[in-house]
Amino acid sequence: MTTVREAVYELFRARGMTTMFGNPGSTELPMLHDFPEDFRYVLGLQEAVVVGMADGYAQASGKPTLVNLHTAPGIGNAMGAIFNAQANKSPLVITAGQQVRAMITLQANLTDRDATRVPHPFVKWSYEPPRAQDVPLALARATHVASLPPRGPAFVSIPMDDWRAEVDDGDVGHAIARSVTGRAAADPEAVRSLADRLAAAKDPAMVAGPDVDASGAWEAVVALAERQRVPVWATPAPGGGRIGFPEGHPHFRGTLPPAIGPLGQMLEGHDLVLVLGTSIFPYYPYIPGPLLPEGTELVAVTSDPDEAARAPMGDAIVADVKLTAEALLAAVPEADRPAPEPLGEPQAPPESDPLSPSTVHAALGEALPDDAIIVLESPSSTMALRNQLRLSRPGSYYFGAGGGLGFGLAAAVGVQLAQPSRPVVCVMGEGSVQYAVTAFWSAVAYEVPVTFLVLRNEEYSILKWFADTEQVTDPPGLQLPALDTAEIAAGYRLKSRRVAGLEELRSELSAAIPSSQPELIEVGVAPGMALF
Ligand SMILES: Cc1ncc(C[n+]2csc(CCOP(=O)(O)OP(=O)(O)O)c2C)c(N)n1
């Protein structure tokens, strides 16, 4: 006979899930008993950081990723990060401990009396097995649910006395051996008709979103754009958690604005817009206007049925983005349209005192190796970074599509753990750092060589911009004087310094990025929204 604990680790091992992100409590210790040597446990000091690290790891590795949370209060702390993970379509298998079965009904201390209800709105499946013997099958099911499109978190609550229970070897053998695949090809008729519409269009355009990157469709999408000579936009930045097209490519047109009216106007002149791997569209703020210009049709390809169903305009095909892009590529002829006009090089703004965020990002662009990965959470300089850097490799950019702060700092650690051979630079606003500040400890403890670049503008700049657009005058709570990130990070034993001018910034960046230890550079910048 095998114990639940042995069966579960065997299951995780068979799925390649040997890294676990967690913050333990007494209710989780039985799961961690005799922790197997071929597994790695990454400790986060608060649950939002645990989930954020796992989110980055899951996205950058493409694998379902284990999270172990403490019962009710631990799950509560994690909820904002779980919200982010579902927006990022991160395949997380989240477990939490629960009181022993014999004391759940009398509601002993630490009982999570509604364990499955708490994470419910943000996970694809939330479950507490009725019997200890069902724990391996429940975790197998959670892994499949998390990995099937659209990917996302699944949750299992596990009473702490279940781990020593015995399970039937035959049943467990089946649960471990099963494979479930979920990449669905599009209806060939739908592909044929879309290929005909694309080839017949006078001036088509494409929009690439995060699922191009997540599904590995990058090459097929580039080949399709080249064969059909189509310009390509990136989906609006707030929901574009990943980049789906090389931004240094001559067909790249830039990032679409995130509001209904301006986005519609931007598509003026295109008779067909092919949208790949994004919702239609991650709009915010609300600036009304026509969804599409007169005479413009739109077709979306997404593996997410809900994304397809809730789109306010256009047609949609629900299918794997990579398989569909490859099928379209095979079905369209070489077009004889004129090639799209290239965007031109980004213009680096001159040095100022304090530096503008655009100058900082231009300096970052100079120092950045081609294989670098950016994890971004610097709200008022998101567009400046996108416009100054032309990231052009798959898996080069991670941004919290849910908008909940706390993703960036933690996710950067997870991304670097999943991609140890690529340099990771985490670009943060000093306000955003505070939502996941203990990720500094994990970076140091596990020697994860992320370079943290923190822009200090002593305020919540983006909220001042929002206040203007919402016609709100003088709201309180938007100033951040005396928040000294380099000092705070030094308290976590992170090598940290504060730089002033451009020359110092350049030399510190070129020293920190290739370094084999985590390092932090804090740079003072001018407040305000930075777009270019
Ligand atoms: C969990 C969470 N709480 C609050 C917010 C609201 N919010 C959005 S941006 C922002 C300010 C971020 O400040 P900072 O990182 O300094 O960036 P800046 O706006 O100055 O560029 C806040 C508080 C949020 N998005 N997520």
What is the average per-residue pLDDT within 61-88?
98
Tell whether ligand 1 has an atom less than 6 A from the beta carbon of residue 460: yes
Torsion over CA: 386, 389, 394, 396 (sign)? negative
How far is the centre of ligand 1, averaged over its atoms, from the C-alpha of 140 (Å)? 37
Q: Answer for the pair 21, 45: CB distance below 8 angstroms, yes or no.
A: no
**Of 263, 63, 228, nearest to 143 (Cα)?**
63
How far is the centre of ligand 1, averaged over its atoms, from the C-alpha of 379 (Å)? 7
How far is the centre of ligand 1, averaged over its atoms, from the C-alpha of 412 (Å)? 17
Note the pLDDT of residue 240.
83
Note the pLDDT of residue 238.
81
pLDDT above 90 (res 11): yes
Which run of H or of E encompasses 464?
A: helix 461-469
Coarse DSSP helix, strand, coil percentages of the chain, rounded to the nearest 5 percent: 40, 20, 45
How far is the centre of ligand 1, averaged over its atoms, from the C-alpha of 460 (Å)? 6
Note the pLDDT of residue 8.
98
pLDDT digits (tens, 9 = 90+) for 289-316: 999 999 999 999 999 999 999 999 999 9
Pocket test for ligand 1, best of 77, 405, 531 (most atoms within 8 A of CB): 405
Q: Is 50 helix (H, G, I), strand (E, B) or coil?
A: helix
Pocket test for ligand 1, best of 462, 472, 479 (most atoms within 8 A of CB): 462
Which residues lie across from 68 on neighbouring strands? 22, 95
Q: What is the distance, to the nearest Å, from the Cα of residue 190 to the centroid of all Cα atoms in its chain?
A: 30
pLDDT above 90 (res 326): yes
Per this entry, what is the length of the chain?
532
pTM here is: 0.98
Residue 52 has which token pair? 């954020």
Tell whether ligand 1 has an atom less than 6 A from the beta carbon of residue 405: yes
How far is the centre of ligand 1, averaged over its atoms, from the C-alpha of 378 (Å)? 8
Q: Answer for the pair 496, 519: CB distance below 8 angstroms, yes or no.
A: yes
Note the pLDDT of residue 276.
98
Q: What is the largest CA-CA distance in the chain?
A: 74
> Which of 186-190, 407-411, 421-425, 528-532 comes out lowest in average pLDDT?
528-532
In Å, how far are 251, 405, 531, 532 from 387, measured between CA atoms?
A: 15, 22, 8, 6
**Of 382, 417, 428, 412, nearest to 532 (Cα)?**
382
Pocket test for ligand 1, best of 355, 432, 484, 531 (most atoms within 8 A of CB): 432
Q: Given the CA of residue 432, which atom of ligand 1 is nearest to it?
A: 15
Residue 461 has which token pair? 């700049």
pLDDT digits (tens, 9 = 90+) for 13-35: 999 999 999 999 999 999 999 99
Q: Answer for the pair 525, 456: CB distance below 8 angstroms, yes or no.
A: yes
Q: Cα-atom radius of gyration of the chain, to the nearest Å?
A: 24
46 confidence band (pLDDT: 50, 70, 90): very high
Q: Given the CA of residue 429, which atom of ligand 1 is nearest to it?
A: 15
Residue 48 has which token pair? 């939002």
Alpha carbon distance 531, 528 (integer Å): 10
Alpha carbon distance 291, 314 (integer Å): 10
Pocket test for ligand 1, best of 378, 463, 531 (most atoms within 8 A of CB): 463
Alpha carbon distance 210, 88 (integer Å): 9
pLDDT digits (tens, 9 = 90+) for 207-232: 999 999 999 999 999 999 999 999 99
The 3-class secondary structure across 87-108, one letter per residue, is HCCCCEEEEEEECCHHHCCCCC
Tell whether ligand 1 has an atom less than 6 A from the beta carbon of residue 463: yes
pLDDT digits (tens, 9 = 90+) for 348-378: 888 999 999 999 999 999 999 999 999 999 9
In Å, how far are 88, 104, 125, 149 from 20, measured between CA atoms?
A: 19, 26, 19, 22
Note the pLDDT of residue 248.
95
Tell whether ligand 1 has an atom less than 6 A from the beta carbon of residue 404: yes
Tell whether ligand 1 has an atom less than 6 A from the beta carbon of residue 359: no
How far is the centre of ligand 1, averaged over its atoms, from the C-alpha of 462 (Å)? 7
Which residues lie across from 497 on neighbouring strands? 521
How far is the centre of ligand 1, averaged over its atoms, from the C-alpha of 285 (Å)? 15
In 381-450, where do the E strands start and end?
A: 397-399, 424-429
Q: Given the CA of residue 405, which atom of ligand 1 is nearest to it?
A: 26
Tell whether ligand 1 has an atom less than 6 A from the beta carbon of residue 402: no
1 confidence band (pLDDT: 50, 70, 90): confident
> Which of 132-136, 345-349, 427-431, 471-475 comes out lowest in average pLDDT?
345-349
Q: Given the CA of residue 459, which atom of ligand 1 is nearest to it?
A: 20
Residue 53 has which token pair? 């690290």
Residue 356 has which token pair? 């503008």
How far is the centre of ligand 1, averaged over its atoms, from the C-alpha of 434 (Å)? 10
pLDDT digits (tens, 9 = 90+) for 92-125: 999 999 999 999 999 999 999 999 999 999 999 9
The residue whose CA has the least distance to atom 16 of ligand 1 is 431
pLDDT digits (tens, 9 = 90+) for 456-506: 999 999 999 999 999 999 999 999 999 999 999 999 999 999 999 999 999
Q: Helix axis angle, 135-147 relative to 169-177, nearest 10°?
A: 10
Alpha carbon distance 525, 308 (integer Å): 41
Tell whether ligand 1 has an atom less than 6 A from the beta carbon of residue 358: no
Alpha carbon distance 473, 485 (integer Å): 29
How far is the centre of ligand 1, averaged over its atoms, from the C-alpha of 457 (Å)? 12
What is the average per-residue pLDDT within 418-431?
98
239 confidence band (pLDDT: 50, 70, 90): confident
Note the pLDDT of residue 163.
98
Nearby residues of 421 by Cβ (< 8 Å), 6 or more positions away: none
**Of 526, 257, 278, 237, nearest to 389 (Cα)?**
237
Mean pLDDT of the chain: 97
Q: Is 122 helix (H, G, I), strand (E, B) or coil?
A: helix
Residue 320 has which token pair? 């794997």
In Å, how far are 9, 164, 285, 384 from 168, measured between CA atoms?
A: 15, 13, 55, 58
